[in-house]
Amino acid sequence: MSNIILGVTGSISAYKACDIANELTKEGHSVKVIMTEAGQKFVTPLTFMTLTKNRVYTDCFDNQDPAAVEHIALATEADLFVIAPASADIIAKAAAGFGDDMLTTTLLAFRDKPVLVCPAMNTNMYENRVTQRNIEVLKDLGFEFVEPKEAYLACGTVGKGALASVDVILERIRDLL
């Protein structure tokens, strides 16, 4: 089966990434989760470690294998890079080429293979012209997207910005593999 990186960023929908990781692991894929600091505020690394049976990566400087540069090794061995949920912050960092944490440095090292971005944020943030420009930049670079859905959001409003359903994301992952 495939090696998949699952990036988890700061969004209330981070709990849905647990279902994504769990389903992919059950299908026989090796899932390596990279969490941003904000993502860890919503779900713990222990949850993903338990579901995937793999170490969870949270810090560029917590290199546990002295023979490897971990963000390079992860990027090299992965077949697919999925960011779900993808916050406005990670979309902006990716569009600008930032590499200031484990997720962004690994993403910068990931080449010539598919990247799937699944945005999740407040409607105003999603529809903001800067966010939309950043999405277009990433699309022009070949990044794939699963559009967020319209739903009742954590802020109490209804609008586009909720993470797409787990089934829709899994179907897109399977298509890309």
List active site positions: 155
Rounded CA separation 22/55 (Å): 14
In the beta sheet, which residues pair with residue 128? none
Q: Please say whether the beta carbons of 132 and 145 come within 8 A.
A: no
Q: Please say whether the beta carbons of 172 and 116 come within 8 A.
A: yes
Residues 6+ apart with CB under 8 A from 176: 80, 114, 116, 144
Q: In the Cβ-directed half-sphere of 172, how many Cα atoms lie within 13 Å?
A: 21
CA distances from 22 to 6, 42, 50, 136, 163 (A): 11, 17, 9, 30, 17
